[in-house]
A = this chain, B = another copy of it.
Amino acid sequence: MSGRLVVVGGDAAGMSAASQARRMDRDLEIVAFERSGYGSYSACGEPYYVAGIVDSIERLVARTPERFAHMGIDLRTRHEVEAIDLDRRLVRVADLEGGSRFEMPWDQLMVSTGAHPLRPASIAGIDLPGVLALRTLEDAVTLRAMTEHEAERVVVVGAGYIGLEMAEALAGRGAHVTIVTLGPHVLEKTLDPEMGRIVDDAVRDAGVELLTDTTVDRIVGDVKATGVAAGDALVPADLVFLGLGTAPDVALAEAAGIPLGVTGAIAVDDRQRTRVEGVWSAGDCAETVHRVNGQAVNIHLGTIANKTGRIAGTNIGGGDARFPGVLGTAIVKVFDLEVACTGLNTAQSAASGFDPVVGIAKGRAGASYWPDAAGMVVSVIADRVTGRVLGGQVVGGEGTGKRIDALATAIWKEATLDDLAWADLAYAPPFTGVWDLINIASRNAADP
């Protein structure tokens, strides 16, 4: 149909959509507005820039505005869309550098406003200087600068993916790190307790103080944060990092009247269409469907943002693509461990109406006689009645985490425990025992 596509938010989902729409339709005019100074960046890489593993912030930019210009995509950074007008089919934009404001009409609109870190107002002192979170590359630059100067003692609040990655990054920078989490173990939203506790041990073994089951009551300090009141303790801190999760950035959409779904994110169909004609959404701000329980979910992962963005772009460009949903598959490096999960955990399975049974297999990523094989633990969660595999988790040493993909693929194809107990998985002594731990965990779940 061509005309003009306006993209609101120029990161993973937005620029995936723009790029794919361009591939589909050479005549479409594409303008993308990004509030921060960088578009198309890897938010997932930010902890590694803070850690110093990635040397320059520019390396986290997948494509520069110049490269997009070469593709015929007008990406304008430091431009904030302040309002979406559905009646007049335009956006109102502030040029944060130049200071001007203007309107830009669209024929199709892509809302890819992402998600922002939670800063619960219920925690007193949360707006003090020195209480930081991570969203944009600029945030990463600020955090890295602090690690080079003032941040000797750090409290990380929350023990999700970002909290753990930042704890490792900051500890690697020489800071004394304390993690405070309300959960009974780290990664409590994704891992079952038995798996989570293995990660707890690794975090503590790495010299990080970990306070589980602990509420952050307030952040103390006069002109800046100097400590965290957590449970009975007052933990001193030069820097407080908030890893309390993220919420979809839907203020613009909501103000415009673009309907949200049950999760609070923007409601979309499997073509990434919102309920407003010509308006699309994808990425962290949009809902998607969990393939295991069929429920609407809003999971903030780069994989989902890129995939849903690409689906939107195909459809914007006149094609017909449908997004098949997600499993929430994720992986995180936590010091010497690789931690991965897919599908539903046991609690989520029960909450979804399944009768979950769990099989666990502990072993090594190598034959029994293979020297120095990494340890690993695999869990498989299934429905007791049907045997359908609902979820799985892997915790292990180097080279083990991506083995989750076999479980993800199994769940993607609605495999049963019987499928996985006998699945023909690869074996040689440097890699696994002759019965893969996925085979064994599945057998254990089938015959607990």
Contact = CB atoms under 8 A, between A and B. Distances in A.
Interface of A: 12, 42, 44-45, 48, 53-54, 59-60, 62, 161, 291, 301-304, 306-307, 323-333, 338, 340, 342, 365, 367-371, 398-399, 401-410, 412-415, 419-420, 422-432, 434-436, 438
A13 to B, nearest CB: 11
Contacts of A368: 59, 62
Contacts of A329: 424-427
A300 to B, nearest CB: 13
B42 A429 contact: yes
A13 B255 CA distance: 67
This chain's copy number in the assembly = 2
B327 A369 contact: no
Contacts of A307: 422
A390 to B, nearest CB: 14
6 contacts: A44-B427, A45-B369, A48-B430, A302-B434, A408-B423, A412-B419
Given A367-B45, A412-B415, A324 B428 contact: no
A369 B54 contact: yes
A381 to B, nearest CB: 16
Given A368-B62, A369-B42, A426 B406 contact: no
Nearest to A371: B53
Please list the 10 inter-chain residue pairs (A to B) with the smallest Cβ-Cβ separation, ordered nearest first: A413-B413, A399-B399, A405-B406, A331-B426, A59-B369, A327-B424, A409-B409, A329-B424, A406-B409, A303-B427
A414 B59 CA distance: 39
A132 to B, nearest CB: 20
A409 B402 contact: no
Given A303-B434, A409-B425, 18 more contacts: A44-B429, A44-B434, A48-B429, A53-B370, A303-B427, A330-B426, A331-B427, A332-B428, A333-B428, A340-B426, A398-B399, A401-B426, A402-B403, A402-B426, A408-B425, A409-B410, A409-B415, A413-B413
Nearest to A422: B324
Nearest to A303: B427
Nearest to A401: B431
Nearest to A439: B307
A408 B62 CA distance: 31
A412 B408 contact: no
A178 to B, nearest CB: 23
B408 A405 contact: no
A388 to B, nearest CB: 12
Contacts of A338: 431
A3 B40 CA distance: 71
A331 B306 CA distance: 31
Given A302-B434, A402-B403, A44 B423 contact: no
Contacts of A415: 409, 412-413
Contacts of A426: 329-331, 340, 342, 401-402, 404-405, 408
A319 to B, nearest CB: 12
A327 B424 CA distance: 6
Contacts of A371: 53-54
A44 B435 CA distance: 13
